[in-house]
Structure 1
Amino acid sequence: MDRRQLLGWGGLAAAGVAAAATQLAAARPGHAAPAAAEAHAVPPATRPGGAYDRYVAKLAAEDRFSGVVLLSHRGRTVLSRSYGMADRERGIHNHEGIAFHLSSAGKPFGAVAILQLAQRGKLSLSDTVGTYLTGFTQEIAEKVTIHHLLSGTSGLSTPDEDLQRVFQSREEVHEFYEGWARRAKPVAAPGTPTDHSGAEVAIPALIVEAVTGTTYWDYAQEHIFGRCGMSGTAFYTRPQWLADQHIAHSYMRQADGSRVDAVRNLDKGSPDPFQLGKNPARGFIDAPGDGGFATAPDLVRFAQALGDGTVLDSPYAELLTGAKFPHAPQGGGLRDGRTTPADASFGAYMMPVSLINGQWVNGRAGVNPGSVASWNIYPDTGWVGVILGNHDDVPFQEIIQREIQAVIG
């Protein structure tokens, strides 16, 4: 697995969107302060000035973090901190209203879109790819189902991408990835867990388009972001990324130790051997089913909307994060060999879900050159944690682990 697969699919910390998300209250940040009894339930490490707060502040002081961290308890913001610059050239600081690149942390939106159509009777999760799309081999069209794609068990490969290509329009991006998805090949029987196959992300987005008659980007904007009140979240284009002062630029570390603005330097690429030469700004817009930009409060709103029936009826919200298959056990009590301890971890729809110290932790994380993103939902206690960053050198695994420790202990 390359670094994008490792960080994106595994989520680094337990991921998914709470199977028991109905426990999250519908209250919005900024409402009345919690009752005294509820305040006692807030772990000291998560309060302003607590261990987690001090840890992130130290990273920022050492130039090892630039971005936003947010912790919300039952809809009320408990901790919100912003560090560093969103746009150094224009002197714009990071703050809660800044949108950050999500990378793989945006993939669950595609699963939500499919489940919305399923609950409306527009499709069935047992339908095969060929029910809606043409141009795929018979082995894929007739044997790979929507369930296989969403659960990461399609057995499909990820076609090679042209990391040097600079796209110039939404239409060009769409045409490329529509053809790119059709180049996927079966490498295992359907039902076999697949290592974060890109085709498993692109094909469901194409199915959404075939069923609705609109682009995936527009569908998600109206039926997910719009319903949730996620006013700062969108599939922004590169011209918007350059012009809008509410979008954080991604700063990539170069081989000489400097950082460059990816959006203003399309000729520059990442020296990271796992993403060699990649620059996320070369895509005019993120591929259908992937990425997007979001603010930290918007990701909390998304978590709340999953719990109160805004975007999915309760049975389908539970289906989104229900454990589909167990991940292989790892030595030392660590989930998937990473630094976050877990009792057990399972594949779900476009995300893993984990049990840590007997509690469900669900969310998703993603990494691209110059950006990191993570959102976790703790359904048993009503917590949501968000980490959004816009430069390289962030100890991402460690920050997520510290968040989990702060909330769960």
Structure 2
Amino acid sequence: MAREKGFSGTVRVTRRGEPVLTSAFGMASRRWAVPNTCDTGFRVASVSKMFTAAAVLQLVERKQVRLDDALVGFLDDHMPQLDPRITVHHALTMTAGIGDWFEEGSDDWEAEWAALTASHPLYLLRSNKDYLPLFAGKQPHFPPGERHLYNGAGYILLGLLIESVTGRSYEEVIADDIFTRAGMTTAGFPALDNLGPDIADGYLTTADSPTPYRTNHYATTPRAAADGGATCTAADLTTFAHALRHGRLLNEEITRLALTPQVDEREEKVRGYRWRYGFGLTHILDGEGTIVRWGHTGEEDGASARLYHYPQHDLDVAVLGNISWCAGAMGWAVHDAIVGA
């Protein structure tokens, strides 16, 4: 895959928490000719939604929040006009129906992304509240609970909920209550313009440049938000998956809830699987209704990530890339090797 498809990044597979495969490919810095290693950190884009969901479920465990609470009750200072029917559960499962800060399902998303970045400079998006003007006035797509529609704005609101309930910043809560508790020793929130050592630069492929790659410094948001953008190594991600299912982040009852699919992502099967969304996790099920895999994907300019757990094999798979859209094919290649497709 690395040779034929140009994958640049790392792949890590663990069984029962122990590594069985770790590999690195490509360059972390093309300017300085620094190769990726198995210890390189990468932006993980929407894979970070798992961290936000786990932090909200910790609040549920502590009875500071209920899943059927109205989300607006935590957002009076930020979005008092939010539909009072929208609950925390709706935001977690992406069934709130609200307009997104960027509509990823658009048929012409590239042109719409270009229009958004032209009117709203990305360098200004440095905290969760900075995203509010991009979706606060949008019309909803459907009434709360009607169906699932992938939505980052709901997770931005969950990040603000976390700050409202805890009195701490979103980054502090995730660092202390998720990363430290899970044992994710190198995970964090460095800004794109202050990455430091051992973190890969992100690259976009381009056909109209003297070189085939350009950095993502002007193409994506500089800081992480509650809907994505943390920086992790592959080991951090497989450690998180292991910690989540083994009760290091949540008690037994809430862990079961966290790993239970909640809503259909789509009506049709894809690759023969039924796809269902839970609390920051996508689950794929076979024809018998057995969960084959759960996890999350992440894509942004210059960052491509996958974290999957295979319950029947007790395997965790992390694929992290620093070229746009490069992790998907690698993730499916590993999947097919695991399930024997």
TM-score > 0.5 by shorter chain: yes
Higher mean displacement: 60-69 or 161-170: 161-170
Partner of 1:249: 201
Alignment counterpart, residue 3 of structure 2, candidates 61, 77, 81: 61
How far is the alpha carbon of 1:155 from its aligned partner? 1.2
How far is the alpha carbon of 1:66 from its aligned partner? 0.7
Q: For the aligned residues, what is the CA RMSD?
A: 2.1
CA contact (8 A) 1:167 1:284 kept: yes
Q: Secondary structure at the match of 2:37?
A: coil
In the alignment, the residues of structure 2 paired with residue 183 and residue 69 of structure 1 have an alpha-carbon distance, to the nearest angstrom, of 41
Partner of 1:373: 305
Q: Which consecutive residues of structure 2, in runs of 5 or more, have no partner in the other structure?
A: 103-112
From the superposition, tell whether residues 184 and 313 of structure 1 become closer, same or farther in structure 2 (CA, over 3 Å). farther
Partner of 1:105: 47
Partner of 1:221: 175
CA contact (8 A) 1:371 1:392 kept: yes
TM-score by length of structure 1 reads 0.73
Q: Secondary structure at the match of 2:323?
A: coil
- Paired residue total: 321
CA contact (8 A) 2:159 2:170 kept: yes
Partner of 1:352: 282
Deviations 1:180-214 (A, max 9, x none): 45334322111022421222111111100000011
How far is the alpha carbon of 1:166 from its aligned partner? 4.2
Q: Say yes or no: does 1:188 pair with 2:142.
A: yes
In the alignment, the residues of structure 2 paired with residue 107 and residue 327 of structure 1 have an alpha-carbon distance, to the nearest angstrom, of 16
CA contact (8 A) 1:177 1:287 kept: no
How far is the alpha carbon of 1:346 from its aligned partner? 1.4
Alignment counterpart, residue 88 of structure 1, candidates 20, 24, 30: 30
In the alignment, the residues of structure 2 paired with residue 225 and residue 73 of structure 1 have an alpha-carbon distance, to the nearest angstrom, of 20
Q: Say yes or no: does 1:70 pair with 2:12.
A: yes
Q: Say yes or no: does 1:291 pair with 2:229.
A: yes
In the alignment, the residues of structure 2 paired with residue 365 and residue 225 of structure 1 have an alpha-carbon distance, to the nearest angstrom, of 19
In the alignment, the residues of structure 2 paired with residue 348 and residue 63 of structure 1 have an alpha-carbon distance, to the nearest angstrom, of 32
Query: Larger C-alpha radius of gyration, 1 or 2?
Result: 1
In the alignment, the residues of structure 1 paired with residue 10 and residue 208 of structure 2 have an alpha-carbon distance, to the nearest angstrom, of 27
How far is the alpha carbon of 1:168 from its aligned partner? 6.0
Deviations 1:74-114 (A, max 9, x none): 11111111011101222221112111111111111111010
Matches within 5 A, 1:183-332: 183-241=137-195, 244-256=196-208, 258-263=212-217, 266=218, 279-280=219-220, 283-330=221-268
Q: Secondary structure at the match of 1:224?
A: helix
Give the letter aligned to residue 9 of structure 2.
G
Give the letter aligned to residue 145 of structure 2.
G
CA contact (8 A) 1:92 1:245 kept: no
CA contact (8 A) 1:126 1:145 kept: yes
In the alignment, the residues of structure 2 paired with residue 224 and residue 231 of structure 1 have an alpha-carbon distance, to the nearest angstrom, of 11
From the superposition, tell whether residues 156 and 174 of structure 1 become closer, same or farther in structure 2 (CA, over 3 Å). closer
Partner of 1:167: 123
Which contiguous aligned blocks of 4+ residues in structure 1 show a shift greater than 4 angstroms?
A: none
Deviations 1:188-247 (A, max 9, x none): 111022421222111111100000011111110111011111121111112322xx1211
From the superposition, tell whether residues 158 and 327 of structure 1 become closer, same or farther in structure 2 (CA, over 3 Å). closer
Structure with the greater relative contact order (CA < 8 A, sep ≥ 6): 1 or 2? Answer: 1
Q: Secondary structure at the match of 2:163?
A: helix
